[in-house]
Amino acid sequence: MHVKAIYTHRIECGEVLEQVLDRYVSELLGEEVVLAITSKIISICQKQVVCKTACSKEELIKREADAIVDVDHNSYGIYLTIKDNILIPSAGIDESNGNEMYILYPKDVQKTALSIWNYLKTKHCIKHLGILITDSNVTPMRRGVTGVALGWCGFEPLYSYIGKPDLYSEPLKVTQVNLLDALATSAVLVMGEGAEQTPMAIISDAPKVHFLTRPPTTKEEKSVKISMKKDLYSPLLMGARWLKRNLKICY
């Protein structure tokens, strides 16, 4: 597998995303590649930003989060939240590389992935193309960030080993590979977190990826999610005091 970061100019608020794509990825696209795009530049293009002087980050987190853990003491000023059925700190709100602005999650991230997919496939006459919108996230009890996929289009999100033999010819019963987050982590690694100015990456020769010529179905979109009750970490998640907004959360 090869992952190549794409250097761009500094994307400013309100730029047209399609124009950014035309400028930087047109010569790099081809059949059976995945274009990874950091959610931050999508949010910036969508003007999903809030000036730091407009409100406190705490107020913004409580407004944007679908659910937030109610704690008696917050040591780091970072809140554990759920946003779009993803467990993520501070509702995904970022202030790094924000130029005195808080950067929010993109609007309609799955629809945005589909829109990018349709635009690039049509313009460049590509049959098999993957789109992956990424962000950084943390793993409990591990230092540092890895990648997580917020939206995607153009390929199956999971690779199933269920029914396939292990080394001793025993059929595997539950193992599935989360291709979305695996690819997102690779892309986030090469795109970087600081001043690299490489907000996109081309992933080629990715193993186990089955490309599709259609958008993901509702069933496929739901297949990558799991309810709190069924999650391996259910005792921790269900034991927390969640303050919820009036939105659908995957329990």
Return the structure tokens found at 157.
């999100």
DSSP, res 91? G
pTM: 0.93
pLDDT tens per residue, range 187-219:
999 999 999 999 999 999 999 999 999 999 999
Contact indicator for 215, 110 with CB cutoff of 8 Å = no
Residues in the chain: 251
> In 195-204, which positions are buried (b, 16+ CB within 10 angstroms) versus exposed (e)?
eeebbbbbbe
CA distances from 1 to 29, 34, 183, 193, 196 (A): 16, 11, 10, 21, 22
CB under 8 Å to 156, separation ≥6 — which residues?
Answer: 179, 209, 210, 212, 220
Cα gap 16→31, rounded to integer Å: 25
d(CA 197, CA 77): 27
| Cβ proximity of 201 and 191 under 8 Å | yes
Q: Place 244 in a pLDDT band, splitting at 50, 70 and 90.
A: confident
pLDDT bin (cut points 50, 70, 90) of residue 78 is confident
Q: Smallest Cα–Cα separation from 208: which of 174, 178, 249, 238?
A: 178
pLDDT tier for residue 74 given thresholds of 50, 70 and 90: confident
Q: Which of 87-96, 162-171, 240-249 has the lowest mean pLDDT?
A: 240-249
> Which of the pair, 100 or 190, is modelled with greater confidence?
190
Residue 247 pLDDT greater than 60, yes or no: no
pLDDT > 60? residue 249: no
Handedness of CA 62, 102, 134, 80 (dihedral sign): negative
CA distance 251 to 249: 6
CA distance to 37, 40, 58, 141, 162, per residue, from 91 (Å): 19, 13, 10, 19, 33
Cβ contact 69:241 at 8 Å? yes
Two tokens, residue 228: 């709190």
Quote the percentage of the chain above a pLDDT of 70.
Answer: 96
pLDDT above 70: residue 12: yes
